[in-house]
Chain A
């Protein structure tokens, strides 16, 4: 039986009370989406697995701070997961740049930014992002999956920062419309 959003909110509140047993259910409910999101951003199995664990431990530690009034359990979990994934990919990139600058041999996991395009990965994400214009999709992919800041995207695409931010906003708004229309 798939837990509803309300079930998950309640479950998280139980975990917030210190219930370690209930955390198993939280893990089962969220590990697939968390791992999928993290793996998409980090594109390296070993590091993605590390970050999955870190996210789960952070969910456990900070559950008491979850405030239902501020948003759903899903939103809270995915926010934490995505932030950790992006912070990690940026740290790995910075380390790789330092290695290159110091002319040290690059670490084996510099495949962090290699493009592992699996057919099913492309298809599933394309379906979700289908409703976006090409420009909106590009901006969201570069930021949400690529870990770039809006400044970096502006430089890479040679477009003004305000254009980047507008595409992000319009893209997110459109995604929300699609989501609500489907429910």
Chain B
């Protein structure tokens, strides 16, 4: 996504007019972009006016209930403000135009976002931002969408470099028994791909992404590029 496109997400973000996935992605961008942080703050100030206009006296009994409840609730720890990172500049990677998505072994590539949208609409679904490892030098990002019962895991990847000839991306579900293959995939010409993993996300299970020879491998043969705990 170009920076102009990112910036255009600021207004919907301020109005909470983004779905969970877009919101998570934009917040990740905000952590690295001072210009967008300022844009958000500027747009948000317009909403202060509305808040006063719609004020309404709450039911009187709520006050005592809330004050009683906080007696037994701990606050979250104070976090040091993180300085905004300067945007990393990447060497330009020419993304090969990929005409057709590869339907891979063990994973189902999602061509319509409807099932994913349905999952996102459920209240107990969680979105996990999967972390980048030191072995990865690109600008890609990965989000995992996990159903409340941890049985269904979608991965949404963006800005992924095209794998070189003869290689393919592989997803792994990593638990006590080691890494199980969870699907192979190749991004489209925009570097994006959404897939549902072959497997589930139990407690402590992590998802990992590596590059493997075409056809995949029974176990990872290269450095893990993305890694995140799902459970």
Contacts and interface: CB of A to CB of B under 8 A. Distances in A.
A161 to B, nearest CB: 9
Interface string A139-183: 010011001111101000000001011101101111110111010
B62 A33 contact: no
B8 interface: yes
Most chain B CB within a 10 A radius of its CB, from A125, A178, A179 = A179
B15 A35 contact: no
Contact of B11 (A28, A127, A172): A172
B35 to A, nearest CB: 14
A27 to B, nearest CB: 6
A175 B62 contact: no
B204 interface: no
A53 B49 contact: no
A36 B75 contact: no
Nearest to A88: B123
Given A18-B75, A179-B45, A32 B16 contact: no
A172 B46 contact: yes
A57 interface: yes
A49 B62 contact: yes
Contacts of A32: 55-58
A91 interface: yes
Nearest to A55: B66
Nearest to B57: A32
Contacts of B76: 61-62, 64-65
Interface in B32-47: 37, 41-47
B166 interface: no
Contacts of B121: 90-91, 93-94, 97
Contact of A64 (B11, B49, B63, B75): B75
Given A94-B121, A173-B46, A36 B67 contact: no
Given A49-B59, A53-B62, A168-B17, A162 B47 contact: no
Nearest to B69: A57
Interface in B63-92: 63, 65-67, 69-71, 73-79, 81
B55 A65 contact: no
A79 interface: yes
B9 interface: yes
Nearest to B56: A36
Contact of A33 (B52, B63, B77, B78): B52
Interface of A: 16, 18, 20, 23-24, 27-28, 31-37, 39-40, 49, 52-53, 56-57, 60-65, 67, 69-71, 74-75, 78-79, 82-83, 86, 90-91, 93-94, 97, 121, 124-125, 127-129, 140, 143-144, 147-151, 153, 162, 164-166, 168-169, 171-176, 178-180, 182
13 contacts: A28-B63, A31-B58, A32-B56, A37-B50, A63-B75, A65-B79, A86-B16, A144-B47, A162-B8, A165-B9, A168-B14, A176-B46, A179-B48
Given A78-B51, A144-B50, A149-B22, 8 more contacts: A33-B52, A36-B54, A37-B51, A60-B73, A70-B41, A71-B44, A143-B15, A168-B11
Interface of B: 8-12, 14-19, 22, 37, 41-59, 62-63, 65-67, 69-71, 73-79, 81, 118, 121-123
